[in-house]
Amino acid sequence: MRSSPNWRHLDLPAYRGDLATMDALRPRLARLSKLSQRGDDTQMALGSDLMSTAPEGYAVLKVTGKGQGVDDLRKMLATRFARGPRTPSTPVTPAEPAVA
């Protein structure tokens, strides 16, 4: 048999305060979430732009960069854009999720 709750120990004003704080927090968290998603989307779009443009820049360096002081840069990029299978120089491990 369950006993009835002891209503004298319920701090109703504190409960109402917590509820009001939660109600005020929800829209702020929703806006933060939307802002974070937009930031992620922008980062993805910029990364895509960079990845699609980089091979063109490398091709230009390869053709016109000889003797222009960019040989070291061209050689560095050559490993990135080499044809055929690549093996990473260091093992790739999944990134840990960010902790706020």
Residue 3 within a domain: no
Q: Other C-beta atoms within 10 Å of 54: how many?
A: 13
- Residue 93 falls within a domain, yes or no? no
> What average pLDDT does the chain have?
79
Q: Are the C-beta atoms of residues 79 and 53 closer than 8 Å to each other? A: no
* Lowest mean per-residue pLDDT among 8-17, 40-49, 52-61, 88-97: 88-97
Domain total of the chain: 1
Give the residue numbers spanning the domain of 61.
11-80
Per-residue pLDDT band at 90 (split at 50, 70, 90) = low
Asked if residue 95 is part of any domain, the answer here is no
* 48 vs 57: CA distance, rounded Å: 15
The SS3 assignment for 88 reads: coil
Q: Is residue 41 part of a domain?
A: yes
Per-residue pLDDT reduced to its tens digit, 33-74: 999 999 999 999 999 998 888 888 777 777 776 666 677 776
Spell out the residues 6+ positions from residue 65 whose beta carbon is closer than 8 angstroms to its own: 71, 73, 74
Q: Would residue 99 count as lying in a domain? A: no
As a three-state string, the secondary structure of 24-49 is HHHHHHHHHHHHHHHHHHHHHHHHHH
CB neighbours (10 Å) of residue 77?
19
Structure pTM? 0.50
User: Is 86 among the domain residues?
Assistant: no
Phi, psi of 20 (to 5 degrees): -65, -40
Q: Is residue 38 part of a domain?
A: yes
In a domain, 75, yes or no: yes
